[in-house]
Every structure is written in C-alpha cells, then in structure tokens.
Amino acid sequence: MRKNKAFDSSSYVFHAGEQILVDANVWLYLLPPATQPPPQYAEQYSEAMKKLIEAGARPIVELLVLSEYINRSLRLEYEAAWKHTYLSFKNFRRSKDFAAVAKPVIEDVKRILAMAEVEPTVLTKADLPWILAETERGTLDFNDGAIVETCRLRGMKLLTNDGDMKLGGIEVLTSNPRLLAACP
C-alpha cells in the first residue's frame, strides 16, 4: 500500500465542495473534555476548521470517528478526576457519577453532528485483508485503517494530527510535523 501524502493544514487552501473527514483527535482539539487543558494544537486546527468552513468545503464525520471521540473523551475525564474513586473505567461507567461526565461529551457530539455531514460506513467495500494485515504487523491501528479506507473509497482528504496516518495512499492535512516529514 502506498504512503499517504501530507499537507500542512495551516497553509492548505480548501475548495468549495471538497470533502474533509475530520479525525477524532482534531475534534478533541476543537472540543476538549472539561478537565483537560487547552491542547497543544487547538489553535492550528481551529484555524483550519474556520478556513474549511469559510471556503465552503464539507467537514465529514463517520461512526468510528464519533466512537473514538466519545470513548477518548470519557476516558480522559475518568483519568483526570475519577480514577482514584473507581477501580476501573467500567465501574465508573456504571456509577451515578458517570451521567454528569457523559452529558457534556454527548452535547459536544451533537455539536459535531451539527457542523459535519455524516458519512455512511464503507466496511463492506473496505480492503479488510489490507487493514487486518497491517494491524497484525503493527504498522496500523485497525480503526485508523478503516478511516483511511473511508477516505480512499470516497475520495476524501483526512484532517488529522495522528502521526501514525502514514499508509493508505490518501491525502492528509495536518499540523503534526512528524507526519508532514514522513509523508512529503
């Protein structure tokens, strides 16, 4: 499988109608959990999202991205404020305290859904043998492979900060200097 081609999201010129799948890590920079400090890349991705919308490009979200955003947000909240109260995340999730943490995360997901178009899953068309082989080799996370396949099959670019998004033959937009260097 080919390497991805990375472009600096701060200088990328978005085009009207262009579809950009926004990765969970970018949503976490734009809508961070309450207990987290402002993330390092928040300003860069906020500016990229502003330019994307102003240009009339189309921010896209899909099921795996929402799943990763929700799960990571809830786990960050657990680690920051509840880890010493509950022995496990699962115990925390079953507690009376969980709803107060989950409510703002779900509100943020509703904001994401209001800003982005929902993309149907492409699991039936994805190159699952490739995803599984790369996952087995340790060169790719399974969810990342599925997200890359969504972009590849739908002709979308991926806005991400994930330094592991090096394979798949798609175009990625990023502020991550390691990813920019790895995928010139």
Q: Over range 15-34, report the average pLDDT.
A: 96
Q: Over range 14-27, report the average pLDDT.
A: 98
The confidence score (pLDDT) of residue 35 equals: 82
Question: 52-94 pLDDT, tens per residue?
Answer: 999 999 999 999 999 999 999 999 999 999 999 999 999 999 9
Residue with structure tokens 């920051």?
80
Helix/strand/coil (H/E/C) assignment for every residue in 95-154: CCCHHHHHHHHHHHHHHHHHHCEEECCCCCCCCHHHHHHHHHHCCCCHHHHHHHHHHHHH
In the chain, the amino acid numbered 62 is E
**5-66+117-182 topology per CATH:** Rossmann fold (3.40.50)
DSSP state at residue 4: P
Structure tokens at 104: 């703002």
**Could you tell me which of 61, 19, 27, 32 has the C-alpha nearest to residue 45?**
27
Residue 36 binned pLDDT confidence (cut-offs 50, 70, 90) = confident
Using the predicted structure, report yes or no on whether residue 39 has a pLDDT greater than 90. no
Evaluate whether 123 touches 131 at the Cβ level (below 8 Å): no
The confidence score (pLDDT) of residue 134 equals: 92
Q: Which residues contact 90 (CB under 8 A, 6 or more apart)?
A: none
The chain-wide mean pLDDT, for the chain, equals 95
The confidence score (pLDDT) of residue 58 equals: 98
Using the predicted structure, report yes or no on whether residue 151 has a pLDDT greater than 80. yes
Burial class (CB in 10 A: 0-12, 13-18, 19+), 112: buried
Percent of the chain with pLDDT over 90: 91
The confidence score (pLDDT) of residue 183 equals: 97
The confidence score (pLDDT) of residue 161 equals: 97
User: Where in the chain are the domains?
Assistant: 5-66+117-182
d(CA 168, CA 166): 7
The confidence score (pLDDT) of residue 16 equals: 98
Percent of the chain with pLDDT over 70: 99
d(CA 64, CA 175): 22
Question: 115-143 pLDDT, tens per residue?
Answer: 999 999 888 899 999 999 999 999 999 99
